[in-house]
Amino acid sequence: MRKKIGTIALVVSLILSMTACAPSEKRYEASFLELFDTVTTVVGYAKDEETFTEYTQMIYDYMEEYHQLYDIYHDYEGINNIKTINDNAGILPVKVDQKIIDLLLESKEIEKITNHKMNVAYGAVLKVWHDYRTEGIESPEMAKLPPLEMLREMSEHTNMNEIVINEEESTVFLSDPEMSLDVGAIAKGYATEMTANYIEEQGFENGMISVGGNVRTIGHKVGEGGEALAWNVGIQNPEVESEMTTIHILELQDMSLVTSGVYERYYTVDGKQYHHIIDPSTLLPSEEYQSVSIVCQDSGRADAFSTAVFNMSLEEGKQLIESQKDTEAFWILNDGSFVYSSGFEQFIKE
């Protein structure tokens, strides 16, 4: 049965301050929960609230497909997803939707580009960290770090070549029975990008989709005189207790912004915080940065690169970003200082 997003806290509001928008369209905003375990916000223009709600429903429905297909924790009736592939590791190939194959093919390419710093086959290692982090959050007095020997053992089962994709049969097989996929470093951004492309085809010309802070802009916003303007998108201050909630406001059109930071998911052991971004080289949370922000057109690549660059030295990260067309990065180092790629500052409004 098709789920109406109104049943899961859809909020649609007319932005009344926009009194002189395009002649036939008004600006609306909607938000809903549930998908990818975060809040999705949609801002855009439509001739009336009913039309905008229809667009929002299409966005929800399309993104829900990706949410279910890329889920590593839950089963869904009639759907073979990433969890299904993991459950059948070393047993048999799983017939899957093309959306999974496309994601894995893109992930294999990015893994090579990033010198293994973004690896969706790292599920066995990430699961260990996830379990220890969950226990540490639920019982802070029992919080502890995973044994390094355990992490090293799990890292033996992270070879991307063990992901066997048969495009003709539409199957995926993990030939290593101990392997587990975790697509968290790319899935949200990839789904956002695919959804943005889809909704544009449906006639949604100017808007912005934010999925838990993974932002994809579509077209432009409309100024008070009807002029086309860039969307304003903020970069969160990793110092979450600071009164200054954003570091920079960027002006973006048909571009994406994704930030990876130490403030997203973490737990505390012996007074020290350990976040969720695990460096494949050390099997530990990377400690070089407070956050890394990526701007490029493709939200999936922005998502993947933000994780990969977070796990690189500054020199290595700069080299990667400068090698990618129309891709820029912004680093906040542990001492609070800022570093920009060569073209990033052109997007800064303030």
Is residue 221, in this structure, part of any structural domain at all?
no
CA distance 48 to 13: 11
Confidence band, pLDDT 50/70/90 cuts, at residue 17: very low
Domain CATH for 309: 3.10.520.10
State residue 264 phi and psi, 5-degree precision.
Answer: -75, -60
Average pLDDT, the chain: 92
Q: What is the pLDDT of residues 103-113, one digit of tens each?
A: 999 999 999 99
Q: What is the pLDDT of residues 319-340, one digit of tens each?
A: 999 999 999 999 999 999 999 9
Is residue 31, in this structure, part of any structural domain at all?
yes
160 and 136: one domain? yes
CA distance 154 to 146: 11
208 and 167: one domain? no
Give percent of the chain above pLDDT 90.
86
CB 102 within 8 A of CB 170: no
240 and 338: one domain? yes
Q: Region 149-176: what's the mean pLDDT?
A: 98
Domain extent for 43: 1-70+184-215
Domain CATH for 162: 1.10.3980.10
State residue 289 phi and psi, 5-degree precision.
Answer: -135, 160
Number of domains in the chain: 3
275 and 333: one domain? yes
pLDDT given at position 350: 72
66 and 197: one domain? yes
CA distance 295 to 345: 11
210 and 247: one domain? no
Q: What is the pLDDT of residues 31-79, one digit of tens each?
A: 998 899 999 999 999 999 999 999 999 999 999 999 999 999 999 999 9
59 and 190: one domain? yes
CA distance 119 to 163: 11
pLDDT given at position 12: 54
Indicate the pTM of the whole model: 0.92
Q: Region 148-167: what's the mean pLDDT?
A: 98
Is the pLDDT assigned to residue 146 strictly greater than 90? yes
pLDDT given at position 223: 86
- Token pair of 251, please? 């002006």
Residue located via tokens 């599920």 = 123
Please state which of the ranges 167-176, 218-227, 300-309 shows the lowest mean pLDDT. 218-227
Q: What is the pLDDT of residues 180-226, one digit of tens each?
A: 999 999 999 999 999 999 999 999 999 999 999 899 999 999 888 88
